[in-house]
Amino acid sequence: MSALLPPVRIGILGGGQLGRMLALVARRMGYRVLVLDPTPDSPAGQVADRQIVAPYTDREAVYELARACDVLTFEFENVDPEAVRALQEAGRRVYPSAEALWISRNRLREKRFFRSLGLPTPPFAPVSSVDALREAVRQIGLPAILKTCEGGYDGKGQRLLRTPADVGAASEELLSSEREWILEAYVPFEREISVLVARRADGQIALYPVCENRHEDGILLETRFPARIPAPVARRARNYARRLAEGLRYVGLLALEMFLLPDGQIWLNEMAPRVHNSGHITWEAAYTSQFEQHLRAICGLPLGYTGARARGIMRNLIGPFDGARLHGLEALLEVPGVYWHWYGKSEVRRGRKMGHVTVIGPRWPVVERLLQQAWSRLTWRR
């Protein structure tokens, strides 16, 4: 594949914060950026050259974006895989592939694909009826997590089953739902980790150090980089990410989320065929950010060095309630080593990611102290 050099046009399906950060980096690199998103003045549209305002399901709008751009990518999975496939078959450059998107949109397909590559996952079973749920519980045991196969994110579409009563309540939901479900064993993990891996069409691969993540209410709250785990465990996690990228013949930046168990085992949770929330830390803490790396990969440029420049912690700014207002920015920016990102969303809503704060430093005690100082200066008010 010949390299796509600036000022060619990059199209982004999706106008949220991930698209915004991709667009900001693309503009710095000299590329022109077009965005498709149904919300006028979307976070990515604010910094792009042009935004097409249309639903992601509008095939003609997607084709309009493709005609106007030299390469297309997407910032989340709510994109029609068949539209992506049609563009690929028409000779358009669209990365990642329709296959990667199709697999990642469905938890059952995703788990089966992991297993086909010999990658370890928690025990799981498909659930399409009440009888299937009871059989899955008999096989896997309790506690277990019942998840929708499609559509869930940030903890949505999931139900923890601890007791037979929970199974009965879930059965009622199954009876009134036409969704496809998957039951997964509950994982008593020690840490949640993720690995970012980038791959070019010619097979060149770049792996980042492992990230260590902490969630609250199913939403990523904090990422540490690099993870505080033994080197052999980190090598195994990175090897799993490499095998996944190679198995998919992937092009672009891929995030693989995993559970680290107390005995050192690693079980794969899910993948994201795009830049990822846990990779925000790379903007300041790595030599090449995940956003630049993704653009390098899809444009056929040499992949960048992925080493850590410093130790760092990224913490998401999540809306505590609808209509909240954040105060303390001036005081926050007095703290050394602190970086501020605000996404330009129109309103604060409970559970919505509004921005993030990153702190970097030479040693963990320094980073932790600076983050505590910075975070204590921020307050949400009505």
In whole angstroms, what is the distance from residue 349 CA to residue 299 CA? 36
- Judge whether 42 and 51 are in contact, CB under 8 Å: yes
pLDDT > 90? residue 193: yes
pLDDT at 174 over 80: no
- For residue range 63-110, list pLDDT tens digits in order: 999 999 999 999 988 888 888 999 999 999 999 999 999 999 999 999
The H-assigned helical ranges of 286-339 are: 290-298, 329-332
Token representation of residue 66: 């493709």
Round to whole Å and give the CA distance between 235 and 238: 5
Query: H/E/C letters for each residue in 34-71?
Result: EEEECCCCCCCCCCCCEEEECCCCCHHHHHHHHHHCCE
Residue 155 has a pLDDT of 60
Whether the pLDDT of residue 1 is over 70: the answer is no
All structural domains of the chain:
9-94 (3.40.50.20), 123-185 (3.30.1490.20), 191-381 (3.30.470.20)
Instruction: Give the global pTM.
Output: 0.95
CA distance 78 to 64: 18
Model pLDDT for residues 217-273, shown as the tens digit of each residue = 889 999 999 999 999 999 999 999 999 999 999 999 999 999 999 999 999 999 999
Backbone phi, psi, residue 24, to 5°: -60, -45
Mean pLDDT of 48-62: 94
CB 143 within 8 A of CB 158: no
Residue 301's Cβ-side half-sphere holds a number of Cα atoms within 13 Å equal to 14
Give the DSSP H or E segment for 306: none
Digit-coded pLDDT (tens) for 104-134: 999 999 999 999 999 999 999 999 889 999 9
Measured between alpha carbons, how far is residue 52 from residues 15, 245, 293 in Å? 10, 31, 25
* Continuous segment of H or E residues that includes residue 74: strand 71-74
The confidence band for 175, taking pLDDT boundaries of 50, 70 and 90, is low
Round the average pLDDT of the chain to a whole number and report it.
95
Count of CB atoms situated within 10 Å of the CB of 34: 22
The pLDDT of residue 127 is 94
Give the model's confidence band at 135: pLDDT under 50 very low, under 70 low, under 90 confident, else very high.
very high
Chain centroid offset of residue 244 CA: 15
